[in-house]
Amino acid sequence: MESPSNVLIFDTPEQLALAAAEKFVEYAHDATGDRGLFTVALAGGNTPMRVYELLATDRFSNRIAWPQVHLFFGDERCVPPDHPESNYAMAYEMMISRVAIPAKNVHRIIGEGNPTDSARLYEEQLRTFFAGLAWPRFNLVWLGMGEDGHTASLFPNTESLKEESRWVLTTKRPQLEQDRVTLTAPVFNQAAHVVFLVTGKEKAARLAEVLHGPSGPDRLPAQLVRPVDGTLEWLCDREAAAKL
Ligand code: 6PG
């Protein structure tokens, strides 16, 4: 079946990462051009690592007005900011520590401490930053997809999928019982651009279900992401797209 126009398939993860980095530059240019700021919610996990690494290279970094960029996180594991599991630690290592972004422009989720307090604090910070808006409108949201169809820390068959008013929640990664803090689906759906990054053959079956299967967002939380006034793009490598 022909993939919808919003699914872009790349021969290799490297080509996907290069295209994703170009999109970051493009969307940053569009946003900083007319409103002066570029607000991004970063994805965690492994897939975006190379994108962040590329963004820190001269090829891309010199084309980004970092003082106008504000980096947020789509979710965080409840661990310290220097922990190997921390999404902040990964983004800091691969990109933030290597580019001229002012520290005040990096808005990390407090992974250490009480998850409920961290979620409440992050929502307060977002409501302050996006003051006056019923919902935050990120210029760009990066997302990944787990083999179970989760995205950010919105896991299958959890109450978090039904949230309609809060911007930030605590969740638990199933099996691991790992505490998480996550933005909610309504927040992602207010973004101007949402880009999923999906690679690897282990995700091929689930990706086909999410994109072409029947609607079942409780079982496939990635299906919840449908921007109400924005674009949705899926950047996949050939392995992940093998069943599309
Ligand atoms: C996280 C992410 C999560 C991730 C997917 C895919 O904190 O882990 O928010 O949603 O994007 O699990 O992870 P990989 O990119 O490592 O496959």
* Chain segment 120-164, per-residue pLDDT in tens: 999 999 999 999 999 999 999 999 999 999 999 999 999 999 999
CA angle, residues 164, 165, 170, in degrees to nearest 5: 90
Nearest Cα to Cα of residue 187 among 103, 144, 126: 126
Task: Note whether residue 128 is domain-resident.
Answer: yes
In our burial notation (b when 16+ CB lie closer than 10 A, e otherwise), range 114-151 reads ebeebbebbbebbeeebeeeebbebbbbbbbbbeebbb
Task: Note whether residue 44 is domain-resident.
Answer: yes
Q: For residues 144 and 150, give the distance between their C-alpha atoms in angstroms, rounded to a whole number.
A: 8
Q: What's the whole-number mean pLDDT along residues 53-77?
A: 98
How many other C-beta atoms are found inside a 10 Å radius of the C-beta of residue 177?
Answer: 7
What is the pLDDT confidence band of residue 4, given thresholds at 50, 70 and 90?
A: low
How many other C-beta atoms are found inside a 10 Å radius of the C-beta of residue 65?
Answer: 16
Residue 33 has pLDDT above 80, yes or no: no
Please state, in angstroms and as integers, the Cα–Cα distance from residue 219 to each residue in 69, 140, 142, 213, 224, following that order: 34, 25, 21, 12, 10
Nearest CA to ligand 1 atom 11: 144
Residue length, the chain? 244
Task: Note whether residue 80 is domain-resident.
Answer: yes
Q: Is the pTM of this model over 0.85?
A: yes
Nearest CA to ligand 1 atom 7: 44
Range of the domain at 81: 6-237
Out of 16, 42, 46, 197, mutate this one to test ligand 1's pocket (max ligand atoms within 8 Å of CB): namely: 46
Continuous segment of H or E residues that includes residue 8: strand 7-10
Residue 2 has pLDDT above 50, yes or no: no
Task: Note whether residue 242 is domain-resident.
Answer: no
Task: Note whether residue 199 is domain-resident.
Answer: yes
Task: Note whether residue 21 is domain-resident.
Answer: yes
For ligand 1, residues with CB inside 6 Å are 43-47, 74-75, 87, 144-146, 150-153
Residue 238 has pLDDT above 70, yes or no: yes
* Position in ligand 1 atom list of the atom nearest CA 46: 16
Task: Note whether residue 141 is domain-resident.
Answer: yes
Q: For residues 68 and 228, give the distance between their C-alpha atoms in angstroms, rounded to a whole number.
A: 25
Q: Cα of 215 to ligand 1 centre, how many Å?
A: 21
Contact status, residue 87 vs residue 73, Cβ threshold 8 Å: yes
Q: What's the whole-number mean pLDDT along residues 4-16?
A: 92
Q: Cα of 35 to ligand 1 centre, how many Å?
A: 30
Domain CATH for 50: 3.40.50.1360
Task: Note whether residue 165 is domain-resident.
Answer: yes
State how many domains the chain has.
Answer: 1
